[in-house]
Amino acid sequence: MRIVVLGGTGLIGARVVDLLRDAGHEVVSASPRSGVNAMTGDGLAEAVAGAEVLIDAIDAPSSDGAAVLDFFVAVARNLIAAEAAGGVRHHVALSVVGLDRLQDSVYFRAKAAQEALIRASKTPFTVVRSTQFFELIERLLDTQSNADVVRLPPAQMQPLASDELAEVIADIALREPQNRVLEVAGPEPVWFDELARQILSAREDPRDVVADARSRYFGAELGSQSLMPGTSPRLCQSSVRDWLRQLIPAG
């Protein structure tokens, strides 16, 4: 099967590319590095031509301002046009659990607009909404802090390992389109601030963590359940404890 992965050099996309190639499929890893710019459309038609499946694992270069809305809308429109011309039979898009509850954030409004365009297109689709992956949470700890304190909203989440999310996306890409949203989550709920304390402890990072309701997540004010999946997500296996073992320094 010929499959094109947009964002094929990113954290999730690169792993999806490897998994599908290992399974014997013809996979095109499409990104600006390979001459494919989904925002401008440059190189897109050539990359998509003849593909049966298109996987969109692209993230915006910035989460701030109106530019992020322009980015996701332009990318969605360009992909929809390219896959219609190229004969794509399944559009798989990576999205975010809870985005309907986070519409005071321009980033999540942009993701919602992207999903709406995909649903309105003529190409059969599956939207994969994921909970937060551990690598993203680690990055957030360095953006939500000053020198001594990390401030995080008091909210629960079910984080997952990015490798397992990639496995789910690769599996869904090989199945029939669902024409609906599917949720993927980690196996267990944890409070954002408590997870942060455990990660910092494993990294031997001395910063304090404060649960602060005024702190925002990608510009959104969170309720306690804003990031939680619904009642029947597809569950990954790696637990918080599994992830923390990887962070503990050797020796």
User: Structural domain of residue 235, as residue ranges?
Assistant: 2-247
Amino acid found at 202: A
- Give the C-alpha separation, 167 to 171, whole Å: 6
Q: Of 212, 18, 177, 189, whose CA–CA distance to 83 is shortest?
A: 177
pLDDT in tens, 182-214: 999 999 999 999 999 999 998 888 899 999 998
Higher pLDDT, 62 or 243: 243
Which domain CATH number covers 204?
Answer: 3.40.50.720
Question: Residue 247: its pLDDT value, please?
Answer: 79
CA–CA dist 96, 129 (Å, integer): 4
* pLDDT at residue 211 in the model: 92
The DSSP line for 113-151 is HHHHHHHHSSS-EEEEEE--BHHHHHHHHHHSB-SSEEE
The predicted-structure confidence for 109-130, as pLDDT tens digits, reads as follows: 999 999 999 999 999 999 999 9
What is the chain's mean pLDDT, rounded? 93
The pLDDT value recorded for residue 7 is 95
- Kindly report, residue by residue over 47-76, the tens digit of the pLDDT: 999 999 999 999 988 767 789 999 999 999
What distance in Å separates the CA atoms of residue 53 and residue 88, rounded to the nearest whole number?
A: 6
Number of domains in the chain: 1
Looking at mean pLDDT, say which of 30-34, 62-66, 179-183, 242-246 comes out highest: 179-183
User: With 70 as the cut, is the pLDDT of residue 8 above it?
Assistant: yes
pLDDT band at 249 (very low <50, low <70, confident <90, very high): low
| pLDDT score of 65 | 74
pLDDT at 87: 94
pLDDT at 251 over 60: no
More confident residue, 36 or 247: 36
How confident is residue 144, by pLDDT bands cut at 50, 70 and 90? Answer: low
For residues 165 and 115, give the distance between their C-alpha atoms in angstroms, rounded to a whole number: 19
